[in-house]
Amino acid sequence: MITQVPHIRIRSVNEAQVNTNGAFVLYWMIAFRRIQWNFSLQRAAEWALGLGKPLLILEALRCDYPWASDRLHRFVLQGMEENAKRLEDRPVLYFPFVEREKGQGKGLLEALSTLACVVVTDDYPAFFLPRMVATAGRKLPVKLEAVDSNGLLPLRAADHVFYSAFLLRQFLHRELPNHLVEFPLEDPLAHLQVPPLHRLPKEVLQKWPPSTEDLPSLLAGALTGLPIDHSVGNAPVTGGSRAGEETLRSFVEEKVPLYHTGRNHPDEKATSGLSPYLHFGHVSVHQVFSELARAEGWSIEKLASKGGGRREGWWGMSPGAEAFLDELVTWRELGFNLCSRQDDYDRLHSLPPWALDDLLQHAADPRPYLYSLEEFEGAQTHDPLWNAAQIQLVREGRIHNYLRMLWGKKILHWSASPQEALEIMIELNNKYALDGRDPNSYTGIMWILGRYDRPWAPSRPVFGRVRYMSSRNTLRKLKVAEYLKKYR
Ligand SMILES: Cc1cc2nc3c(=O)[nH]c(=O)nc-3n(C[C@H](O)[C@H](O)[C@H](O)COP(=O)(O)OP(=O)(O)OC[C@H]3O[C@@H](n4cnc5c(N)ncnc54)[C@H](O)[C@@H]3O)c2cc1C
């Protein structure tokens, strides 16, 4: 089939054939929960057009995934409501399915795939999704393709893991220009002419009734009836592509010039707030890049001919935009690179040997303070700045980036062992943070323990040569007065 989706982004999950007698092409949306700038949807639309078949989009929300809570469900549901709206006048059938009880959705994908010509899904490298897709590949009777719409650099563009941001930057400077000319379509459904699909078979609809009409009531309160964690309440952030696009617009219009100087200061509010939207796929990194490039009057000719791994000056954009792209592209995609190549990305033993040796050598050092998971969770430490960061996480589902580093470093400092610190960071980050359960979660958490960093002399108790941070220095360096007042 002729495709505009780069081949490097398409992966066959199984060896089953396309069923040309099928009734429709199925896009099983599991990570890139959006209608725009989405290579997976674009690929599914290409299949539908090529086969002359209708296109069905299944967006399901299970209730048995780890850390499922009102907070996470609500954010995803707001996205589903937005997707339903955006697809209303499109030539596709949208099937949102929200599980009311554990296991209710079991069998739905198989049932639909027996009617489908081919199934396309999202190739996301972390959390339970890779296992779920591999299992589906073994079960489905038709071809299953997973498409990579994760980053500017395709996951398979490199054949190895990058052990530092510098090494990835060097690679990006050489390779990324080839991929900057291969963006997904802003609107993959524009001009799509395929036969409509009005209804699904009665047996499917009876067993798995679509949640189309229920989305507003679920958002209005019916979530309380679902078997998910109701102790993690709503965050003051709205999910969905529209909210994500507004966040992007206000960042590009108002904050980019402040980013490189203000990013680290909690009181300056100079960061984008995009991570939850990127995590749930409500906004795409290609879309973020395109908006930024447009505002900067950027074109590909502005790239420096040589980058050599330097942090600034390669893109040919303003200092704020360059600093932002270093986070959005280099740091974000480091984690995607690792998670797509190593299953043990969340295990202590996957740390660089120098960091692991140092942490284990100091594992029995006396700690100046020792807290349990419950004490950390309840923000009950002796340190007001640490407690403020934890309170922000619990209340709002996020922590300001710089304080997130301090937050993690102190969990390492005040936990009984590096293994326990790792478990506590994963639990709190993934339970409360809207952007948790992401490759970035493990980049951040493992950075606390030495990944992507270098040894820092002198060796200290508990940390060895792993980088140390203190609240006192942070208070001295950052503007946090307002922050401390707000999260008391
Ligand atoms: C202990 C710890 C845990 C973390 N857990 C997560 C997590 O669960 N999910 C998550 O998305 N990020 C995580 N980070 C990275 C970082 O804190 C967030 O990406 C950032 O604060 C999100 O806010 P923003 O969107 O306003 O970022 P901005 O500063 O506006 O950056 C734009 C985007 O770049 C990416 N980015 C920024 N900083 C980093 C970074 N240090 N590493 C990787 N990517 C980055 C994110 O996708 C972010 O949305 C963690 C960092 C630490 C130290």
CATH number at residue 373: 1.10.579.10
The answer to whether 388 and 399 have CB atoms below 8 angstroms apart is no
- Indicate whether 262 and 314 sit together in one domain: yes
398 lies in some domain:
yes
- In-domain check, residue 170: no
Listed residue (120, 58, 61, 119) closest to 93, CA to CA: 58
Write out the two tokens for 34. 């959006």
Report angle CA 149, 153, 154 to the nearest 5 degrees: 55
Instruction: Specify if 195 maps to a domain.
Output: no
3-state secondary structure (DSSP) of residue 127 = coil
**Residue 327 Cα, ligand 1 centroid: separation in angstroms?**
8
Q: What share of the chain is helix, strand, coil (3-state, %, to 5)?
A: 50, 10, 45
- What's the CA-to-centroid distance between 456 and ligand 1, angstroms? 23
Q: Is 247 in the pocket of ligand 1 (CB under 6 A)?
A: no
Is the CB of 433 within 6 Å of ligand 1? Answer: yes
Is the domain of 299 the same as that of 381?
no
How far from 182 is each of 6, 35, 37, CA to CA, in Å? 7, 18, 11
Q: Which domain holds residue 474?
A: 348-486
Q: Which of 149, 156, 152, 148 is nearest to 172 (CA)?
A: 152
In a domain, 223, yes or no: no
388, exposed or middle or buried, with CB in 10 Å at 0-12, 13-18, 19+? buried
Among residues 326, 341, 356, the one where a domain terminates is 341
Q: Is there a domain that residue 359 lies in?
A: yes
The region that residue 129 occupies, defined by phi over 0 for left and psi between -120 and 50 for alpha, beta otherwise, is: alpha
Residue nearest to atom 51 of ligand 1 (CA): 444
Mark whether 352 and 482 lie in a shared domain: yes
Beta partners for 121?
28, 146
The number of C-alpha atoms within 13 Å of 55 and in the hemisphere containing its C-beta is: 26
Q: Candidates 399, 440, 453: which one to mutate for ligand 1, based on the most atoms within 8 Å of Cβ?
A: 440
Residue 338 CA to ligand 1 centre (angstroms) = 16
Task: Confirm or reject: Cβ of 423 under 6 Å from ligand 1.
Answer: no
- The answer to whether residues 355 and 336 belong to one domain is no
Query: Six-digit token pair at 59?
Result: 């967006």
Which of 292, 282, 280 shows the shortest CA–CA distance to 328? 292
pLDDT digit string (tens) for the chain, length 488 residues: 778 999 999 999 999 999 999 999 999 999 999 999 999 999 999 999 999 999 999 999 999 999 999 999 999 999 999 999 999 999 999 999 999 999 999 999 999 999 999 999 999 999 999 999 999 999 999 999 999 999 999 999 999 999 999 999 999 999 999 999 999 999 999 999 999 998 899 999 999 999 999 999 999 887 889 999 999 999 999 999 999 999 999 999 999 999 999 998 888 889 999 999 999 999 999 999 999 999 999 999 999 988 888 899 999 999 999 999 999 999 999 999 999 999 999 999 999 999 999 999 999 999 999 999 999 999 999 999 999 999 999 999 999 989 999 999 999 999 999 999 999 999 999 999 999 999 999 999 999 999 999 999 999 999 999 999 999 999 999 888 999 999 98
Is 221 inside a domain boundary? no
Joined together, the tokens standing for residue 349 give 């033993």
Which amino acid is it at 106? K
Q: Which residues of 245-282 are buried (b: 16+ CB within 10 A; e: fewer)?
A: bebbeebbeebbeebbebbbbbbbebbbbbbbbbbbbb
Same domain? For 118 and 16 the reply is yes
For residues 294 and 421, membership in a common domain is answered with no
Any atom of ligand 1 within 6 Å of the Cβ of 401: yes
Q: Which is nearest to 121 in space by CA: 94, 161, 86, 148?
A: 148
Q: Is 382 in the same domain as 473?
A: yes
Choose one of 341, 368, 396: the last residue of a domain.
341
Counted domains in the chain? 3
CATH number at residue 104: 3.40.50.620
Q: Rounded to whole angstroms, how far apart are CA atoms 390 and 63?
A: 26
- The answer to the question of residue 155 being in a domain is no
Ligand 1 atom with the shortest distance to the CA of 429: 8
Distance in angstroms (rounded) separating the CA atoms of residues 397 and 375: 18
87 token code pair: 């697809």
Residues in the chain: 488
Q: What angle do CA 198, 242, 269 make, to 5 degrees?
A: 160
Q: Flag whether 175 is in a domain.
A: no
Query: Are residues 267 and 372 located together in one domain of the fold?
Result: no
- Say which amino acid occupies 313: G
CA distance 222 to 109: 25
Residues 376, 318 share a domain: no
Same domain, 321 and 409: no
Residue 8 shares a structural domain with residue 59 = yes
Whole-number Å distance between alpha carbons of 473 and 119? 53
Shared domain for 266 and 360, answered yes or no, is: no
Output the domain CATH number for residue 333. 1.25.40.80
Pairing of strands 144-147, 10-12: antiparallel
Last residue of a domain, one of 128, 149, 170: 149
